[in-house]
Structure 1
Amino acid sequence: MNRPSTRGPPGPIRFRTSLHNTIYDVLKARGWKETDSDTDWELNWASIEWMRENFDHMHLDDSQRVSHFRNMYELTRKDLLIKNLKRMRKTLEKEDKHAEAAKYDFFPSTFVLPAEYGLFHEEYKKQPGSVWIMKPIGKAQGKGIFLFNKLSQISEWRKDHKWKADSPQAETYIVQRYIENPYLIGGKKFDLRIYVMVTSYNPLTVYLYRSGFGRFSNERFSMRKDEIQNNFIHLTNVAIQKTNPEYQAGTGCKWSLRSLKLYLMSKHGPDAVNESFYEIQQMIIRSLLSVQKVIINDKHSFEVYGYDALIDEDLKPWLIEVNASPSLTADTPADYQLKFGMLDDAMTLLDLEHKLTGKEDQV
């Protein structure tokens, strides 16, 4: 990335963070100064817990920035993301913008459980034996996710979870039609991690980082009924794959986004692949537009999201989820280099040192 010319600030930027991984290294490498002060900082790379407990009670001055929006969960909580996408599609249809509404087709048929169990049941009956995936809304790293193709498997799960539709204690899940035709490389499923930075929701100001990576399953893909419960086939989360005895970091479980694009171009030509990646960009923008009116826009806030997308065998992209706190811990030197570069560019965009002219569309 081309960088603007640099000039030194009057003093080092002060930052506060509880993380000691790649972001900490980036901030120190920029010559910024760590502080443990509750209020005396220009940058707070904050946890979501810190936001929940402190943000509403603080008065921030113009020079201070915090690494989350107040209610980012409208985008990053699985059930609320789906709710906002569906609402956006419905709003566009009411406004007779049917062509644009039809473009909100990048998420599979999805229901929130237990509240929408009846609706899900009706949908399932249209195609008995189809495969669905269950995801708890409040967990990360693949925890609590499972696939099923029989309603009896849900019945057993409901008993285990003491789960009643009208129970306020019931853990909320989403149930999604499983994408049964993912694009395979070497017979294995993969998804894409793409980094996105939003500096404002009004006006919507968003930057996509050019580099990202693909995460591969450790075992060859299969839709056989006796393999449905095998998470090493169906889930690409590194946290899941690391528990496989065959897992070896750096030996094929992660590819750079560039390597993936080159591979796909060798199979399908540049036009088809560029179109697919353009659709991924449009998918990201549409997801952000769907929450633009509900996210509390604050001039002190910015956010780096980790978007997870999947490409099917027709090169159609699907949105899997959006992460508000994507892992910044690196498991290989290449992973570290990618995350360091991404975060360093994010800090350049944040422009706490007032080096940018305001006319840049990329850095």
Structure 2
Amino acid sequence: MGSSHVDGLLSQLSQGDQDADPLEDAVAAQPRAALLERHLLGGQKQPPSSGCGPFFYIGGTNGASIINSYCKSKGWQRIQDSRREDYKLKWCEVKCRDSYVSFREGEQLLFQLPNNKLLTTKIGLLSALREYSRVLSKISKTSSGAQAKLGKGPAPSLEQLTWMPTRPGPQRILKMEDFFPETYRLDIKDEREAFFTLFDETQTWICKPTASNQGKGIFLLRSQEEVTALQAKTQSIQDDPVYRRMPFRAPQARVVQRYISNPLLLEGKKFDVRSYLLIACTMPYMIFFGHGYARLTLNLYDPCSEDLSGHLTNQFMQKKSPLYVLLKEDTVWSMEHLNRYINDNFRQTKGLPRDWVFTTFTAQMQQIMVHCFLAVKSKLECKLGYFDLIGCDFLIDDNFKVWLLEMNSNPALHTNCEVLKEVIPGVVMETLDLALETFQKSLCGQRMVPLLSQRRFVLLHNGETDVWPRLVGSPSGPRLAPRPCQAAPASPAPLARAADRPGARRPGEPRSAQVRPRNTERPRADPKDPAEEHHEERRPEDHRGS
């Protein structure tokens, strides 16, 4: 491979991939006593404002028109000043520390959990999954030892059991290697050296910044020349005295991941599937799964091609092609279209069940999402009014094995093709409906289910049976006192119900059947967890949805 290509890789490495976490720990520093006192006394005095409210603020353009229409349909008024604190809803692409410091719990809705980086950065997700695997392994050994002392047969361990909303009873929980490609951190010397030692040219690897989107900063590693150049560059950066003084070592904040070189192809093109993990409420946790769409490349798949647009399926990469304007409708398929194609082309040859997409594949995506959520459940910052929508990208290989590629904060909510016009508005509106309904019910001390606004999203985890989430920094913080509630405002007319769709609730099935019957609370994490070593957030210019 030419030296010019290696130089290109090195120039990408030399660019700072991340900024330091703008939130730091300022949110946790807010006095809890003052927070509770404010709620018990009925809230703080509102600053003077024009109009009668309620007010909403939208920061950025990603999904802005849909959110704006939704809020105005409720009679809410949009404000343009991001510094105002008298809002009912604030939806921003870029997280701002001030939003969390001034946030009034139980009075406001704020999009994006402050520390969602535990799921939505490559290093955060990798570290969380590794730690969760260690915890499950330790609990499994402890459980087996206790059973042996009692003279009983081995009981099912946490590592063997999990819960799924679409399957009765417990199932074997996933192991990390079952769904997550082999990955190494370049910012940790031992891992970096382990990767450089094991690399050989029979495998392709992909190098990614920990917290970027739209394919920025990504490159493939195929040759020993490229890996040697990467090794030399990382060493020179580490030896630089300026770098040693950096609190956040941006150029090193990368991972290398084994590239899935045998993807399933649709009409000869590589694709992945974007699905959604909705955290509608954090007190208690109400976690949902939502179907999205399939994203295809414009070009036929060539594993030897150096053109990244044939390897990365996101729209940002595909838009670089001059053919995109003419062929953009071919780059996004609905889940129904994907299901028909797999039924027609692979069902018999691969021995798949009918509607594999809406049965086996959907169940596997849900199980992976539950596993990832449980890995960070005890670490996420929980306040009544926080909610989040996370884009989850899955790849299917030619053996129909399902892989989780990454999770993304601020997922793309653009509607620039017909399929997205059908999918995205429903996702955004149901997200807001569920966030509002669960917020109101939690505030009033009402049971969460049934949820009148639940349409296409599937409930994965109902935290009503959990130990009530503590206030930030308080393992045993009290639940906010329920307030006298007026009748909840009527929900907007629901979209066409999808209960008869595979992957959704079936007619006649009680909603309570979707409630998780029991929960296993994982222990508090070691404060020295490697995931906390990096607090990178994406730069503002990168927050255009991924």
Partner-residue secondary structure (3-state), 2:374: helix
SS in 2 for 1:192: strand
CA distance in 2: counterparts of 1:121 and 1:158, whole angstroms: 7
Unaligned runs of 5+ in 1: 1-10
Note if 1:223 corresponds to 2:298. no
Query: Which amino acid letter does the alignment assign opposite residue 358 of structure 1?
Result: M
Match of 1:218, SS state, is coil
- Return the alpha-carbon distance in structure 2 between the equivalents of residues 291 and 277 of structure 1: 22
Following TM superposition, by how much is the alpha carbon of 1:285 offset from its aligned partner in structure 2, in angstroms?
A: 1.1
Paired position in structure 1 for 2:411: 326
Q: Any idea what SS the aligned residue of 2:330 has?
A: coil
Q: Secondary structure at the match of 1:209?
A: strand
Match of 2:186 among 93, 97, 113: 113
Aligned 8 A contact 1:92 1:101 in 2? no
How far is the alpha carbon of 1:30 from its aligned partner?
Answer: 4.1
CA-based RMSD of the aligned residues comes to: 2.5
Distance 1:187 1:158 in 2: 35
Q: Structure 2: any 5+ residue segments left out of the alignment?
A: 1-51, 141-156, 161-171, 348-352, 456-546
Question: Which of 429, 432, 442 does residue 347 from structure 1 map onto?
Answer: 432
Do the aligned partners of 1:201 and 1:292 also contact (CA within 8 Å) in 2?
no
- 2:139 paired residue number: 95
- Which SS does the other structure have where 1:144 is aligned? coil
Distance 2:129 2:193 in 1: 21
Task: Quote the offset at 1:316 in angstroms.
Answer: 1.6
Q: Distance in 2 between matches of 1:194 and 1:102?
A: 19
Matched, 1:252 2:324: no
Please identify the structure whose Cα radius of gyration is greater. Answer: 2
Answering whether residue 200 of structure 2 is matched by residue 137 of structure 1, we say no
* 1:272, distance to aligned residue in structure 2 (A): 4.2
Query: How far off is 1:121 after superposition?
Result: 2.3
- Residue 101 of structure 1 and its aligned partner are, at CA, apart by 5.9
Tell me the CA shift for residue 77 of structure 1: 0.8
Measured in 1, the distance between the counterparts of 2:282 and 2:448 equals 17
- Contact 1:26 1:340 (C-alpha < 8 Å) held by counterparts: no
Give the superposition deviation at 1:153.
Answer: 0.4
> Using the alignment, how far apart are the partners of 1:357 and 1:200 within structure 2?
13
* Alignment match, 1:263: 341
Give CA deviations for 1:271-323 in whole Å, capped at 9, x if unaligned. Answer: 64411221011111111111111111121200011111111112221111111
Q: Distance in 1 between matches of 2:186 and 2:427?
A: 36
Distance in 1 (CA, whole Å) between partners of 2:174 and 2:56 is 44
Aligned-partner Cα distance in 2 for 1:192–1:259: 12
1:151/1:201 Cα in 2 relative to 1: closer, same or farther (>3 Å)?
farther
CA contact (8 A) 1:131 1:148 kept: yes
- The CA deviation at 1:203 is 4.5
Inter-partner Cα distance in structure 2 for 1:47 and 1:187 = 35
Could you tell me which of 15, 18, 21 is aligned with 2:56?
Answer: 15
Identify which of 123, 129, 149 aligns with 2:198.
123
Q: Secondary structure at the match of 1:153?
A: helix
Mapping 1:144-159, distance limit 5 Å:
144-157=217-230
Sort the Cα spacing of 1:293 and 1:197 in 2 relative to 1 into closer, same or farther, 3 A: same
Residue 241 of structure 1 aligns to which amino acid in structure 2?
Q
1:194-252 deviations in Å (ceiling 9; x for gaps): 12210235644211224x1111111111223xx2x221211111111110123235431
The aligned counterpart of 2:396 is: 311
CA distance in 1, matches of 2:53, 2:421: 24
TM-score by length of 1: 0.86
For the pair 1:43 / 2:89, whether they are aligned, the reply is yes
Counterpart of 1:138 in 2: which secondary structure?
Answer: coil
Give, as a single letter, the amino acid of the residue that structure 1 aligns with 2:341: Y
Task: Assess if the C-alpha contact under 8 Å between 1:111 and 1:120 holds in 2.
Answer: yes
AA aligned opposite 2:56: F
* Kept after mapping to 2: 8 A contact 1:89/1:102: no
Q: How far apart are the structure 2 equivalents of 1:78 and 1:35? A: 34
Aligned residues: 345
Task: Give the corresponding residue for 2:449.
Answer: 359
What is the deviation of 1:158?
A: 5.1
Distance in structure 1 (CA, Å) of the matches to 2:339 and 2:310: 22
Sequence identity of aligned pairs in percent?
Answer: 26
Q: Is the 8 A contact 1:330 1:336 kept in 2?
A: yes
